[in-house]
Amino acid sequence: MSAPQPENLLVFVDIETTGLEPEHDAILEIGVVIADSNFGTVDHNSWVLYYNQPPQKIDLIVWEMHEMSGLWMECKNSPLYDIQEVEEEMLMFLKGNGIEAKTQPMVGNSIHFDRSFLKYHTPRFEGYFHYRNLDISSLNIFVDRYMNEFYTGRPVTNKLHRAIPDCFDSLNTLKYYQEHLRYV
C-alpha cells in the first residue's frame, strides 16, 4: 500500500488557551492530527507549553476547565518554554509528513479562533496553511438549522478541552458528514 498523497491529507488543528484574546492570553497546548482521505490517522502530535501563572489572572471557567482536563498539571511540568521552538517543531512535523506550504486548509472546530491565536503567537506555522479553513462548527450549524431532521446521529464530542481529543472529535464529525451528506 502506498503512502497517502499530500494533496489528499486533512490537517486538523486545535489549541487550548488561557482565554479568548490572542494579545493577552497564552497558548497552553497545540495539537495536530493528519488524516488521509478516508479519515485514517496518518500521524498526530501535541505540544504542551510551560505555564505556571497564578489562577487569579485567569477566568474561573477557563481555570476549572483546564484543571478538570489535567492540562494545568501538564503545563506546570512541561519542558517547552519557548513557543518559537515549538513553532519550529510543528513546521518540521508538517514537512515530515509531506505537507507543503500553502496547500492545505486548516481543519477544526471554530478554527478561526485557533488561527487568530496561531497567527499572533506562531505566525510561520499559521502562515504555512492555505488561507482557507474547513470549519466543522460551521457545518454543524448548517446541519442543525437546515437538515436536522436527517442528521440526528452526529457523533457526540468528548468535551475534554484537550487538543488531540478535540482534533479527533472534528475528524469523526467530518467523517460522519462525508458518509451521510452524500445521500441528500
Active site members:
131
Contacts of 121 (CB under 8 A, 6+ apart): 22, 26, 27, 83, 87
- Going from the C-alpha of 36 to that of each of 8, 79, 88, 136, 171, the distances in angstroms are 6, 31, 23, 17, 11
Query: d(Cα 73, Cα 1) in Å, to the nearest integer?
Result: 41
* Count of Cβ atoms closer than 10 Å to residue 26 Cβ: 18
One DSSP character per residue, 112-157 reads HHHHHHHHHH-HHHHHTS-S-EEEHHHHHHHHHHHSTTT---PPPP
Q: How is residue 80 annotated by DSSP? A: -
Taking a C-beta distance cutoff of 8 angstroms, is the pair 42, 35 a contact? yes
**What cell was used for 96?**
515530515
* Count of Cβ atoms closer than 10 Å to residue 180 Cβ: 15
